[in-house]
Amino acid sequence: MQATRARIEERHRSFKKAVDLDEARRKRDEHKVEIRKTKREETLMKKRREHPAVQATSRAGASVPGDMAAVHDPTAAAAAAAGTARAAPAVGENLLSAPVSGEKAAGSLSESAVPVESMLDAPGESAEASSSLLTTRSRQEILASMPALRDTLYQAGASPEQLLRTVREFRRILSIERAPPIQEVIECQGTVEKLVEFLSYDQFPALQFEAAWALTNIASGNTEQTTVVVQAGAVPHFVRLLRAPNEDVCEQAAWALGNIAGDSVQYRDLVLAHGAMEPLLQLLQTQHKPGMLRNATWTLSNFCRGKPAPDMPLILAALPVLAQLAQSTDEEVLVDTCWALSYVSDDKTEHNAQIDALIRSGVVKRVIELLGHESTAIQQPALRTIGNIVTGTDEQTQVVLDCGALPYLLRLLSSSKRLIRKETCWTISNITAGTIEQIESVIQSGLIPPLISLLANSDFETRREAAWAISNATAGGTDAQIRMLVLHGCLKPMCDLLFANDSKLLIVVLEGIENILASGERERERLHQPANEYASLVEQVGGLERIEMLQNHVNEDIYFKSQHILRTYFDVEDEDEIQGLVPMAASEGDGFGFGIERNDALARSGFHFGTSSSSLMMTSSGMMTASTSVPHATHETAFGAETASPRTGQVSWRPSDDTNGDGDDATNGMPMGS
Question: Using only C-alpha atoms, what is the Rg of the chain?
Answer: 30
Residue 52: inside a domain: no
Going by C-alpha positions, the residue among 234, 246, 215, 306 that lies closest to residue 15 is 306
Tell me what percent of the residues of the chain surpass a pLDDT of 70: 65
Digit-coded pLDDT (tens) for 14-52: 333 333 333 434 433 333 333 333 333 444 567 766 554
Q: Is the pLDDT assigned to residue 56 strictly greater than 80?
A: no
| DSSP classification of residue 651 | -
CA distance 344 to 308: 11
Label residue 156 by pLDDT band (50, 70, 90): confident
Residues 6+ apart with CB under 8 A from 485: 448, 452, 470, 473, 474, 477, 516
Write down the pLDDT at residue 499.
94
User: Who contacts 120 (Cβ-Cβ below 8 Å, separation ≥6)?
Assistant: 95, 100, 164, 168, 206, 209, 210
What is the pairing mode between strands 616-618 and 624-626? antiparallel
Average pLDDT for 657-670 = 37
Coil, strand or helix at 582: strand
| Least confident range of 96-110, 172-186, 518-532, 604-618 | 96-110
* Average pLDDT value for residue range 459-483: 97
Give kind and range of the element (H or E) at residue 36.
helix 30-43
For residue 439, being part of any structural domain is answered with yes
Q: Please report, for the domain that includes residue 543, its CATH number.
A: 1.25.10.10
Give the range with max mean pLDDT: 346-350, 525-529, 613-617. Answer: 525-529
Q: What is the pLDDT of residue 383?
A: 98
CA-CA distance, 303 to 263, in Å (whole number)?
A: 11
Q: Is residue 310 part of a domain?
A: no
Q: Contact, 176 vs 134, CB < 8 A?
A: yes
Query: Does the residue 489 lie in any domain?
Result: yes
* Distance, CA of 7 to CA of 204 (rounded, Å): 33
Domain interval for residue 519 = 434-639
| 170 domain-assigned | no
| Tens digits of residue pLDDT in 67-114 | 322 333 333 333 333 332 222 232 233 334 333 333 222 222 222 333
Instruction: Establish if 648 belongs to a structural domain.
Output: no
Average pLDDT over all residues of the chain: 75
Around Cβ 498, how many Cβ atoms within 10 Å?
21
Structure confidence at residue 405 (pLDDT): 98
CA distances from 305 to 29, 44, 230, 258 (A): 20, 13, 19, 11
Identify which has the larger pLDDT, 279 or 655. Answer: 279
Task: Select, from the ranges 95-99, 283-287, 645-649, the one with the highest average predicted confidence (pLDDT).
Answer: 283-287
Per-residue pLDDT at 212: 98
For 105-148, what is each residue's pLDDT tens digit? 222 222 233 333 333 333 334 444 444 455 557 888 889 999 99
Q: Which pTM does this prediction carry?
A: 0.73
Where is pLDDT greater, at 663 or 392? 392
Nearest CA to 511 among 645, 658, 655, 656? 645
Q: How far is CA 433 from CA 206, 599, 640, 641, 648, in A?
A: 57, 36, 20, 22, 13
Residue 183, pLDDT > 80, answer yes
Strand-strand pairing, 607-608 and 616-618: antiparallel
Q: What percent of the chain has pLDDT over 90?
A: 60
Q: Which of 335, 235, 247, 327 is nearest to 283 (CA)?
A: 247
- For the ranges 16-30, 229-243, 388-402, which has the lowest average pLDDT? 16-30
Label each residue of 393-460 as H, E or C: CHHHHHHHHHCCHHHHHHHHCCCCCHHHHHHHHHHHHHHCCCCHHHHHHHHHCCCHHHHHHHHHHCCH
In a domain, 478, yes or no: yes
In a domain, 518, yes or no: yes
Question: Number of folded domains in the chain?
Answer: 1
Half-sphere exposure of 383 (CA within 13 A, CB side): 33
